[in-house]
Amino acid sequence: MSVDYEELYRERKERLSRAYALKEPDRVPLSSSYSYFAARYGGITIQEALTDYDKLRGAVVKTSVDFGYDTAGGGGGIYSLPLVIAMMRDYDGIVPGMINIPLQKTLGMKYGRFPGLEMQKDTPPQFIGQEYMKVDEYDELIDDPHGFIVTKIIPRSFTELEDLNSPRAMSALIKYGEESEKYRAGMKKMGDELRRYGFPSFGGGFSYAPMDLMGDYMRDIKNVLFDTFRVPDKVIQAAEALKGVILELARINARFAPEGAHAFIPLHLNEYFSPKQYHEFYWPTLKEVVEELIKLGFVPSIFYEGYHDAHLESILELPKGKTIAKFEKTDLKKAKEVIGDHACIIGGPPASLFLSGTPAKIDDYVKDLMGQVKEGGGFVLAPGVNIPEEADPANVKALMDAVEKHGVY
């Protein structure tokens, strides 16, 4: 039976657009989070997915078409925000920040571990937090955040860029540029093919919470948390300084992104703070970043990782209907009660359900969840985190079957 992919594209885009706008679509949309499951299902290794753009495209397209969720996509690697910030002022375009295996070989990222290089083959890459900035360097960061990232953070976190004035570093950057263009071309080719199969895309931006930039790439999470007690004023000032470079990056990216593009913001430190600490250290600069992204024409799509239950009401301080809130472990029923008429909610089953569950258990989960969050619209079903690479394909298919059964308005 032939498929009208243009009509399928229109249906999916309308379904998602209505949910994002806090309206009821024909049914609850189902968003994909395939990640390295696509590699396994598509018959390639994770190492191949992070190396061969044609094989990755084939695996992602096959997975997306076979399971038929409302969104598609894939790729992988480890994002390097400091690298993007370091280059943003001198690069006429969107700086490629995703590091895969060829780029890892070129740059030697110290906080990344990749299959076949620093890890066993066919295992997902890992982000390893480390301390690249000492506590007595806060003043230097505050005085010139961009300069500090360029001259201190980059040389300390990439083996091939330890001396930025050396021939070794210049050679690495040339290779980085060449491979990044191959990566960009590969991702565009994949996006174009997914579009032909009826999958809409709302992406186009990436941003960060200033405190997470500090915790992920500079001080390490545990040190930042200690610093809020040891040098609280310095932490607040540093977050303000880093907010400036994050907003500068947002303004640059806005020149290339279509109106209404989603700007993805993954939060990491949010669940570690008490409500008092959250509003003192974390929320003020994040809120300003989100508000500026909205002014620039983005739709901030914020991934509130971990448990965000204690901070739900802060989302009400953001403009109504202008942001998307994805949750990992937060009680979705509570989220619906608190922000259901204020921000689109995305959430769904934990990774464990795809591993140890059954289609019947997934059906039960979705049926119960729909009874709590479906009414009134503004909800998108999606796995809480990426579908594990070892997931049972029957369970992945069962999620689509369940939302078609229980998610219809």
Tell me the domain boundaries of the chain: 5-406
Return left, alpha or beta for 408; rule: phi > 0 is left, psi -120 to 50 is alpha, else beta: beta
Q: Are 404 and 11 in contact (CB under 8 A)?
A: no
Mean pLDDT of 186-193: 94
Residues 71 and 31: beta-carbon distance below 8 Å: yes
* Residue 376 Rama label (left phi>0; alpha psi -120 to 50; beta): left
User: Which is nearest to 323 in space by CA: 264, 389, 275?
Assistant: 264
In this predicted structure, the answer to whether residue 204 has a pLDDT above a threshold of 80 is: no
Neighbouring C-alpha atoms within 13 Å toward the C-beta of 98? 17
Q: Tens digits of per-residue pLDDT, 243-295?
A: 999 999 999 999 988 888 999 999 999 999 999 999 999 999 999 999 999 99
pLDDT of residue 293: 97
Supply the pLDDT for residue 325.
98
Q: What pLDDT shows up at residue 91? A: 75
312-337 pLDDT per residue, tens = 999 999 999 999 999 999 999 999 99
Rounded average pLDDT over 96-125? 92
Tell me which long-range contacts 129-137 makes (C-beta under 8 A, separation of at least 24): 129/215, 129/216, 129/220, 129/221, 130/157, 130/220, 131/218, 131/219, 131/220, 131/223, 132/156, 132/157, 132/217, 132/218, 132/219, 133/218, 133/219, 135/219, 135/223, 135/227, 135/230, 135/231
pLDDT, one tens digit per residue, over 224-233 is 999 999 999 9
Q: Shortest CA distance to 373 belongs to which of 397, 349, 398, 400?
A: 349
Confidence of residue 1 (pLDDT cuts 50, 70, 90): low
Is residue 238 over pLDDT 70?
A: yes
Tell me: the pLDDT tens digits for 389-398?
Answer: 999 999 999 9
Supply the pLDDT for residue 211: 98
Whether the pLDDT of residue 96 is over 80: the answer is no
Burial 37-47 (b: 16+ CB within 10 A, else e): bbbbbbebbbb
- pTM for the predicted model, two decimal places: 0.95
Residue carrying structure tokens 């960009």: 184
Taking only the tens place, the pLDDT of each residue in 27-78 is: 999 999 899 999 999 999 999 999 999 999 999 999 999 999 999 987 789 9
- Sign (positive or negative) of CA dihedral 167, 169, 172, 174: negative
- Specify the pLDDT at position 170: 96
Give the model confidence (pLDDT) of 138-151 as tens digits. 999 999 999 999 99
pLDDT (0 to 100) of residue 76 = 83
Q: 3-class SS at 26? A: coil
Q: Which residues pair with 126 in a beta bridge?
A: 113
Cβ atoms of residues 24 and 376 within 8 Å: yes
Q: Give the mean pLDDT of the chain.
A: 95
Q: How far apart are CA 11 and CA 3, in angstroms?
A: 13
Cβ-contact 198, 6 below 8 angstroms: yes
pLDDT at 121: 79
Across the range 296-306, mean pLDDT stands at: 97
Determine the residue type at 87.
M
- Residue 124's alpha-carbon distances to 29, 121, 368, in angstroms, are 28, 9, 32
Tell me, what's the pLDDT at 15? Answer: 98
- The average pLDDT across 370-387 equals 96
Confidence of residue 120 (pLDDT cuts 50, 70, 90): confident
Residue 95: in which H helix or E strand, if any? none
313 vs 4, 107, 288, 308, CA distance in Å?
Answer: 43, 42, 16, 10
pLDDT at 368 exceeding the cut of 90 = yes
Query: How is domain 5-406 classified at the CATH fold level?
Result: TIM Barrel (3.20.20)
Phi-psi region of 229 (alpha: psi -120 to 50; beta: other; left: phi over 0): alpha
Residue 92: pLDDT over 90? no
